Amino acid sequence: MTLSPEDIVRLPGGERMLRGLEDWRHGLTTIESCLVAVAFAKFRAAGLVSGEAPFQEAELVLYDLLKKEGRNAYGRYNSLIRELVSFGRALTRAQRVKK
């Protein structure tokens, strides 16, 4: 069963992931859509996306976008990946509960 946007928002990092899904659906390459691309298989398994990953080497694209912002790209990258992992774990738990 696919989770609703309201269910997704309740998960850690859910608002960011919803923005990423929206950006991905509009073909935008943003930090958030890169996160969706990094974990595309998990998003597809959850029924949140379909098809193939929007681009290859999403981790590199994400890091490049963070570098262009001019702040601590390395620290932000690691923080975002931790948030993505946390979201993925919570998503898996939420799906088990929904069944």
The pLDDT tens digits of the residues spanning 31-79 come to 999 999 999 999 999 999 998 887 789 999 999 999 999 889 999 999 9
Please report, to the nearest 10 degrees, the dihedral formed by the alpha carbons of residues 59, 53, 65, 26 taken in order: -160
Classified as helix, coil or strand, 12 is: coil
Which backbone phi and psi does 59 adopt, to 5 degrees?
-60, -40
Report the predicted TM-score, pTM, of the whole model to 2 decimal places. 0.92
pLDDT for residue 2 is more than 80: no
pLDDT for residue 1 is more than 70: no
Angle at which helices 14-25 and 73-98 pack, to 10 degrees? 90
Helix H or strand E encompassing 3: none
Please report, in angstroms and rounded to a whole number, the separation of the first and last CA atoms in the chain: 6
pLDDT for residue 99 is more than 70: no
